[in-house]
Structure 1
Amino acid sequence: MMLDLVAYGAFFLTIALTYAVICLGLNVQWGQTGLFNVGIAGFVAVGAYTSAILTTPATADRFGGFDLPIIVGWIGGGLATAFVTFLLGALTLRLRSDYLAIATFGAAVVIQLCMLNLVPLTGGPFGIGFIPRPFGALAGNALAFGLANFAVIAVLVLVVYLVLERLVRSPWGRVLRAIREDETAARGLGKNPVRYRLEAFAIGGFVMGLGGAAQAHFIGFIAPDNYLPILTFQVWAMLIVGGSGNMRGAILGAVLVWGIWAVSGSVVSSVFPADQQARAAALQIVLIGVALCAVLLIRPRGILGEVRIVSRHLLRDARPKASAKERPDHA
């Protein structure tokens, strides 16, 4: 029993951390730059399908079957998503935030239709199966398999976190926040807001695609139903609960909201009969909404709010300097 609980906990944390990667990508776009992206589900799907096509074995009824290593599929999924977000951003980032939201939602709808109708490429409504899993040879041992997968995704989250932390603490990251807070002032200082926003949008898209690719390989099967607009709602809830603008908050929010989602799903499924699962799913969304409202009432900036000063040099300069009388005399 104890080993089964540990194996389930490893699987739970593995899926939660794949959402954490996606949430980190949204944090670059919204938390750091203020880009309102409501097409997350579509961008995650691009990464997942690209990686699946690159890494699955050859089949007679579907294009692909390149049987490449998993790491190649993950990088390919991230690059494909970055390319899609770059093209979309080049067309829409000069618009206001509400128009950007409409454009990203429309892009997600188009991607959803492509998943359903490009059957020779995506498998249509039946999706793509037999996606290789990391350490698939350990699948017979649930505990070892779960712990190995958890170790892989933990390393991935750590690498993505460290890279993004370095970026947001760099001059490039400070320009992003300056544009978010006052675009006119940033433009007056010689910064090009469109170029910086496009870079942030593409980098965030790469991270989202990477997270979608990793999630597809840990689950082993993808279909259009996996990438409905509810996925966008989940990721946004994760970022808001954890703390927009804070990388650690994005990770914490992903784990917490996924935990609420999993527990509430088990509870409502046990309460409602099989013929009322649609009502159960609606109640599950309501529970997430209630949790989101509670967090916003208690912590309006999220559990871990944004750190306003992110440079150690600024922190050093902000410390009060000792006067001549207060300095120790070493003479």
Structure 2
Amino acid sequence: MIDLLSYAAFFLTMALTYAVICLGLNLQWGQTGLFNVGVAGFVAVGAYVSAILTTPPIEGRLGGFELPMIFGWLGGGLAAGLLCLAIGALTLRLRSDYLAIATFGAAVVIQLALLNLEGLTGGPFGVGFIPRPFGALQGDADLFALSNLSVMIVTVLICYLALEHLVRSPWGRVLRALREDETAARALGKNPVTYRLQAFAIGGFVMGIGGAAQGHFIGFIAPDNYLPILTFQVWTMLIVGGSGNMRGAILGAVLVWAIWAVSGSAVSALFPTEQQARAASLQIVMIGVALCAVLLLRPRGLLGEAGTLRRAKTRTAPKISEGTETNA
């Protein structure tokens, strides 16, 4: 019973780290329409910066500042947000296609940097000894797991309330107006680049916090954790839950992570060790099937966006009462 409780708490903790990342993507895409396909790179920046700031000194590697964990999380979020700001400043004035290309390219560059900057990132060996919340309680697995879960519940709640306040404010309404009809928003004196840049940076900040939290709960990070499959996972979570809906982003993260975890356990149980690497592709297949099912049955996701602004596609002609003559 204790093992089951500990596993459930660990499962929910990891699911909620993905929920934070998904909330950041929801602000960028669901609210603003910014197509970010470099999620894995921004998550990696948050995780590595936080790890460098909080781990003990290690010979041959830069960092080891042993700062409190809260400073690591905020530092990771700030680094990811600044990177989004820099990329957005270069690309948001162009067509949206360029943003997708730029974010994908940034993710590839980041992953290669993590592999090769051994003196900073540990190279392919990664970074270990990352402090975990409530590390003093590790002797009691049950209490340790529940304490970590409580930290993530509070983190998700703070991110959710902060982002909900933003999207319901006049600033958030401008984002949706730009997403639906940029010409009309410009006519009202709104600068699209400024608002989109702000949303892109704030979304990156939230992703960085999610990446930092993930690294601290696992206790070890490596470049292989931040391959493009991570971006696919997060996008699937958002689409399944409901793009444009903050609660949908959280729900989608939990459900898709459940599918991923259950399929991973099934692969371990059903296939011999030498075949598990090849069979692991079944996890991606299951995620793809789930995504297709949701798109077919509920195109707007399980919790679609409410009150979406839409342009009128047709205009109703004024009615002319009978017997009224019009001038030719």
More displaced stretch, 269-278 vs 124-133: 269-278
1:236 aligns with 235
Q: Kindly report which structure 2 residues correspond to 1:1-331, keeping only aligned pairs within 5 A, or say none.
A: 2-308=1-307
Within 2, Cα distance between the matches of 1:52 and 1:62? Answer: 12
Within 1, Cα distance between the matches of 2:296 and 2:205? Answer: 33
Within 2, Cα distance between the matches of 1:286 and 1:107? Answer: 26
Structure 1 unaligned regions, length at least 5:
311-331
Taking only aligned residues, the RMSD between alpha carbons, in angstroms, comes to 1.0
Report how far residue 188 of structure 1 moved: 1.0
Q: What CA deviation, in whole Å up to 9, does each residue of 1:48-70 have, x standing for no partner?
A: 00000000001111000100000
Report how far residue 271 of structure 1 moved: 2.1
Within 2, Cα distance between the matches of 1:84 and 1:107? Answer: 9
1:319 aligns with none
Aligned length: 309
Within 1, Cα distance between the matches of 2:117 and 2:41? Answer: 15
| SS state at 1:35 partner | coil
Residue identity matched to 2:9: A
Within 2, Cα distance between the matches of 1:23 and 1:309? Answer: 20
TM-score (norm 2): 0.93
| SS state at 1:29 partner | helix
Within 2, Cα distance between the matches of 1:95 and 1:138? Answer: 51
Within 2, Cα distance between the matches of 1:238 and 1:51? Answer: 24
Residue identity matched to 1:152: V
| SS state at 2:280 partner | helix
Residue identity matched to 2:153: A
Within 1, Cα distance between the matches of 2:196 and 2:270? Answer: 46
The 3 A distance-change label for structure 1 pair 99 and 51 is same
Moved over 3 A (4+): none
TM-score (norm 1): 0.92
Within 1, Cα distance between the matches of 2:62 and 2:245? Answer: 40
Within 2, Cα distance between the matches of 1:307 and 1:135? Answer: 39
Within 2, Cα distance between the matches of 1:101 and 1:72? Answer: 30
Report how far residue 210 of structure 1 moved: 0.4
1:315 aligns with none
Within 2, Cα distance between the matches of 1:296 and 1:71? Answer: 38
| SS state at 1:130 partner | coil
Structure 2 unaligned regions, length at least 5:
310-328
2:326 aligns with none
Identity of aligned residues (%): 79
Within 2, Cα distance between the matches of 1:218 and 1:69? Answer: 15
Report how far residue 309 of structure 1 moved: 6.3
Within 2, Cα distance between the matches of 1:278 and 1:294? Answer: 26
